[in-house]
Amino acid sequence: MHSITVKKWLYCLLLVIAAMALSGCGAGKNINAADTVGRDTRNKLLVSVRDQRLLLLRDNKPVKSYVVSTSKFGLGSQPGSYRTPLGRMQIAKKIGDGYPPGMVFKGRQPTGEIVKANAPLRDPIVSRILWLDGRERHNNNTFQRLIYIHGTAEEWRLGSPASYGCIRMGIRDVIDLYRRVGEGAEVIVMRDSLLDSAQGRKYLKKDPRQTQPAGFSTLY
């Protein structure tokens, strides 16, 4: 009889401890980007609005570039403006690990639906999400504005501004970038051409063909 009482007491104690632990999961706390960021210090992303291209740097050396699409409403950080923020940011969260190309996300959750590139009348977030956090005063609401680097089914629009504030990439390109970078990696969105940065000039000198898809002037 005594052993049964002890077992019941221990069981109740475990339930109390479990409840206390669960009560700390987001209870009374505003989750922000700083709570989730890791430290990828090797990789950096340069996003040129003029060129509509993203350049990946590793240890400050150019690795690969991708055609992107920034906001069709222009640049800015005002809430509700649907504009792409400028300046220094970082990858706060990576979402979509392991899902197949074209997986549709709503509210950052996979829906189970898969769309192909350029599917008619479809413009969902697909494949992967890199959720950005602003690191400067003028863009420090970037995380709350839900600004992402993400895949788009509208690949035919890449290379020109077409988004609602996010930075869009091709269905498979965003998966490739996702596997190369970690949370905490720096992201810089700039008005100017990549040719105005030393790393961009070095990359384009190495492979001038990269000027074609992103709309660079062939004079460079």
Closest CA to 158 of 217, 83, 70, 45: 70
157 in Cβ contact with 14 (< 8 Å) = no
pLDDT tens-digit readout, 112-127: 999 999 998 889 999 9
Instruction: Map residue 37 onto helix, strand or coil.
Output: coil
Token couple for 212: 């074609």
What CA–CA distance (Å, rounded) separates 102 from 95?
Answer: 14
Give the DSSP letter of residue 33: G
What CA–CA distance (Å, rounded) separates 200 from 220?
Answer: 12
- Band the pLDDT of 8: cuts 50, 70, 90: low
Tell me yes or no: is domain 37-211 CATH 2.40.440.10: yes
Q: Say what the pLDDT of residue 76 is.
A: 98
Give yes or no for residue 204 having a pLDDT over 50: yes
pLDDT tens-digit readout, 15-27: 333 333 332 322 2
76 in Cβ contact with 85 (< 8 Å) = yes
What CA–CA distance (Å, rounded) separates 34 from 154?
Answer: 32
What CA–CA distance (Å, rounded) separates 162 from 84?
Answer: 11
Give CA angle at 98 (71, 95), nearest 5°. 40
**Locate tokens 């501004």: which residue?**
161
pLDDT tens-digit readout, 161-203: 999 999 999 999 999 999 999 999 999 999 999 998 887 877 7
- DSSP secondary structure string, 136-180? SGGGTTTTTTT-EEEEES-GGGTTS--BSSSEEE-HHHHHHHHHH
151 in Cβ contact with 95 (< 8 Å) = no
How many other C-beta atoms can be found within 10 angstroms of the C-beta atom of residue 55? 24
pLDDT (mean) for 142-167? 98
**Locate tokens 């660079």: which residue?**
216
